[in-house]
Amino acid sequence: MSKDITIVITTFRSKDVIFKCLNSIDKNYPVIVVENSKNDEFKKELESKYNNVKCFLSGSNIGYGRANNYGISKTKTKYALILNPDTQLYSETLKNFSSSISQINSFAILAPINQDDVPEKNEKIEIKKNEEINLKYSNVGKSVDDVRGFAMLLNLIEFRDIGFFDNNFFIYYEEIDLCKRVIQKGKKIYVLPNVKILHSGGQSHDSSINYEMELSRNWHWMWSSFYYYKKHYGYFFAFIKILKKLLSSLIKSIFFLIIFNKSKSKIYFYRMWGIINAMIGKESWYRPNI
């Protein structure tokens, strides 16, 4: 089954974490890394250390969804496992994915459980909203409407009439949007209780650029929120949905400026700025200043 799954990883200044991720992957599985820069030294280092890794350079920071789409376009297998660089696989992770593929007749997306979310044996774990899955289940997945994007196994043939990630999202909401389009087409998404992956979360880049990435996160989270709601529910709904966050960001930005906390004031200003750009129809243009 290793010939049927390719792992696709999008990176951006991820040298602090990517080697742990790659070391955890069975070397019988092909890996495509799309690095959102023109860092040729990074590419050479990865490909020299790992015979199963092929690294592509995008040339610039084109975003998470667009880079994943590029990686998928280079995939020659039936399935692509979209993986964040700040994840680590367990020895049985890919084997259990393969086992689930053979047992579930029809699916578009299979997703694991984050190991940090796993409770004691035989307890229940909340997957989303009010839906639950009992860990006593063997290899049977729980059907859900959406999953977290740190690891998603895509059945590529099921996306011919859907497309993959919306390139308009730079980062955030792209997996929620993809899942929504999958469900709208009547296709299935499953969370698998026997497939576990460790996801550190928020650590996919080098620690030296944390503040600039925090500004970028806030800008794009707000931009993507408004764009997602506008895309699926219309402008008026998106405006009502985001209005409270817009006002909150304005008030907090002013408040922290008054008390001379410029760094926090700037974060909330960037949240407000992201919303305004989305509201006036500008593309997701902001890039971290690094």
Residue 34 included in any domain: yes
Decide if 284 is inside a domain: no
Q: What is the pTM of this model?
A: 0.87
Residue where a domain stops, chosen among 165, 181, 199: 199
d(CA 16, CA 13): 8
Please give the helix or strand (H or E) that residue 90 lies within, else none.
none
Sequence-ordered alpha helix ranges (H) in 30-131: 40-49, 64-73, 93-103
Highest mean pLDDT out of 102-106, 206-210, 211-215, 267-271: 267-271
Half-sphere exposure of 238 (CA within 13 A, CB side): 20
Looking at the structure, tell me whether residues 155 and 215 fall in a common domain: no
d(CA 34, CA 65): 11
In a domain, 99, yes or no: yes
Q: Which of 96, 24, 106, 34 is nearest to 71 (CA)?
A: 34
Last residue of a domain, one of 138, 166, 199: 199
The pLDDT, as a whole number, for residue 288 is 84
Q: Does 285 fall in a domain?
A: no
Reply yes or no on whether the pLDDT at 1 is more than 60: no
The total domain count for the chain is 2
**Mean pLDDT, residues 236-254:** 97
Quick one: 170 and 212 in the same domain? no
In a domain, 288, yes or no: no
Looking at the structure, do residues 46 and 116 belong to the same domain, yes or no?
Answer: yes
- Enumerate the β-bridge partners of residue 82: 8, 152
- Considering the domain architecture, whether residues 140 and 223 belong to the same structural domain is answered as no
In angstroms, the Cα distances linking 51 to 4, 86, 183 are 18, 21, 37
Residues 225, 127 within the same domain: no
Residues 176 and 227 in one domain: no
Of 175, 199, 223, the residue at which a domain comes to its end is: 199
- Per DSSP, which regions of 115-203 are E strands? 124-128, 131-134, 142-143, 151-155, 189-199
Residue range 22-70, pLDDT digits in tens: 999 999 999 999 999 999 999 999 999 999 999 999 999 999 999 999 9
Please check whether residues 189 and 214 belong to one and the same domain: no
User: Are 268 and 225 in a shared domain?
Assistant: yes
| Residues 6 or more apart in contact with residue 33 via CB below 8 angstroms | 9, 10, 11, 18, 46, 53, 54, 55, 56, 71
The per-residue pLDDT for 15 is 87
**Percent of the chain scored above 70 by pLDDT?**
87
CATH number at residue 54: 3.90.550.10
In terms of domains, do 96 and 223 share one? no
Shared-domain flag, residues 10 and 148? yes
Q: Are residues 85 and 146 in the same domain?
A: yes
- Rounded CA-CA distance 147/149 in Å is 6
pLDDT at site 141: 80
Q: The domain containing residue 174 runs over which residues?
A: 2-199
Classify residue 290: in a domain, yes or no.
no
The DSSP bridge pattern shows strands 53-57 and 124-128 to be unpaired
| Residue 180 forms part of a structural domain | yes
Max distance between CA atoms of the chain, in angstroms, equals 60
Whether the pLDDT of residue 201 is over 70: the answer is: no
Predicted confidence (pLDDT) per residue in 140-188, tens digit: 688 999 999 999 999 999 999 999 999 999 999 999 999 999 999 999 9
Domain assignment present for residue 44? The answer is yes
In this structure, the answer to whether residues 59 and 37 fall within a common structural domain is yes
- State how far the Cα of 94 lies from the Cα of 101, in Å rounded to an integer: 11
